């Protein structure tokens, strides 16, 4: 008598075939999970993208407008 009988191995084999074999919905689901894990790992391995200079310029541009408006306001008051 071993640790597992033939019935145990048959049940394990059936479960593995249901989860990973054939063209069933469960095997498709497991494939999608594997693709998701691969995509997650790839995303974690990639370096983050640098901030675009256009967005920085637009922020500075808005600051320049505010500074010019402040100068004009002080000139009018004087």
The predicted-structure confidence for 17-29, as pLDDT tens digits, reads as follows: 877 776 677 777 7
Task: Report the sign of the C-alpha dihedral through residues 62, 63, 64, 67, in that order.
Answer: positive
On whether residue 55 sits in a domain, the answer given is: yes
Number of domains in the chain: 1
pLDDT at 67: 73
pTM of the model: 0.34
User: Between 75 and 2, whose confidence is greater?
Assistant: 75
Domain range for 14 is 6-77
On whether residue 1 sits in a domain, the answer given is: no
* Secondary structure string (H, E, C) spanning the chain: CCCCCHHHHHHHHHHHHHHHCCCCHHHHHHHHHHHHHHHHHHHHHCCCCCCCHHHHHHHHHHHHHHHHHHHHHHHHHC
Q: Would you say 18 and 24 are in contact if contact means Cβ atoms under 8 Å apart?
A: yes
């Amino acid at each position: 008598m071993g640790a597992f009988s033939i019935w145990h191995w048959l049940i394990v084999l059936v479960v593995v075939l249901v989860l990973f074999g054939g063209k069933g919905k469960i095997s498709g689901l497991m494939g999608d999970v594997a693709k998701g894990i691969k995509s997650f790992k790839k995303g974690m391995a990639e370096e983050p993208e640098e901030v675009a200079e256009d967005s920085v310029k637009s922020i500075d541009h808005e600051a320049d407008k505010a500074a010019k408006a402040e100068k004009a306001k002080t000139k009018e008051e004087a």
